Structure 1
Amino acid sequence: MTFLETILDEILQIFKREGIEANTEADIIRKLDIRSTTFHELFSSRENMVLQVIRYDVEQQKREQSELLAKASNPVEQIMMLLVNGIQKMKQINPVFIADLQKYPEAWQVSINYVTNNNQEVNADILNQGIIEGYFRKDLNLQLVTKIILEQFFMMINPAVFPPGKYDLAEVFRSIYLYYVRGICTDAGGKQAEEFFARTNL
């Protein structure tokens, strides 16, 4: 890991734990234990800092997802492992982080583009393979299903729909996706899903 990556990772952890707006530039510099000149050599502005952090986060997510999917033995497990991973990540992130991120249009767009493109490509591939192997129903409209999964995500992170102070986002995530996945499975896929649920603490 390079010096910049180390710094980006540390800032990302601060953001996910406390939100973006909770710390001033001076606070972040102090927590990173680096010189102000070094900070300004790395980041031209606060907006640039947030953008670089989000780009770093996206690359980390891609790497983690690839490693995660490689561990699954079938498409149902792949969907379930992505689901559980999503729940775990939601539990680790302060909801304020998502709300704060929307104040930085360029960084927010990078995040949304990744969620949109990744969701459609990865889920379509998994669902298609699952249909071929008999785990998901043959009558699925892949374009429609992946679109629904994506829109459910946007609904979940919309504070106007699920205010963070009133709803546990991890529980919202679980309620939206677990039951939806069951509904698109065949009997064989449903059995795999139930077995996965039985050995996984959600």
Structure 2
Amino acid sequence: MTDPIRKALVVRGGWEGHSPVEITDLFLPFLKDQGFTVETAQTLDVYADAELLAATDLIVQCWTMGEITAEQSRGLADAVRAGTGFAGWHGGVIDSFRGDLDYQRLTGGQFLMHPPGFVDYTVDVAPGGHGITAGLADFAVHTEHYWVATDPANEVLATSVFPAGGDRARDVVMPQVWTRTWGAGRVFVSAIGHKADDFDVPEVRAITERGLLWASR
């Protein structure tokens, strides 16, 4: 008996600075290789289609800023609560729909700021052996460094340090990758991924791919 085919829905749009089509395209072959049928959407109207979302095992979102209607937001949250997975990276998932607090409760985090430009920093992999980070050591990146507000209920898989200086009297450890559950659904978030070549870092690519699979129904 072959495994049933899973369905992924890639929702992409919003601010073009995060290259939503280019970067999500990096993961379409991977999802197909993992046995997903993949549909892409460049409208948030899909979140109001309860039948479509109920048949979807994984939603991958890359939609920075923008506005979501109450019906769309509720449809997304209800689908995840019922078991549809939800995953994304960087501003495409935690700088989306800034005025919607219910959406922020779903993702478990919200982007607040980053230092100017791209900076070098180390991503520290949390101990504990979660499947998403299993076998990975700490790694370096050169990209935007997100300062985020996060839910203490998240399971944090990787962090980084904002060093003391300026307004900070001490080093601050900041979540960069986390998972959470929302009812029967799983949510995966990575703060890394402003530009396509961020995913050339093997650890970034591995964490993102594993996170998509983990979140899926």
TM-score, length basis structure 1: 0.29
Q: Which has the higher helix share?
A: 1
Which structure has the larger Rg?
A: 1
The alignment's TM-score, normalised by the length of structure 2, stands at: 0.27
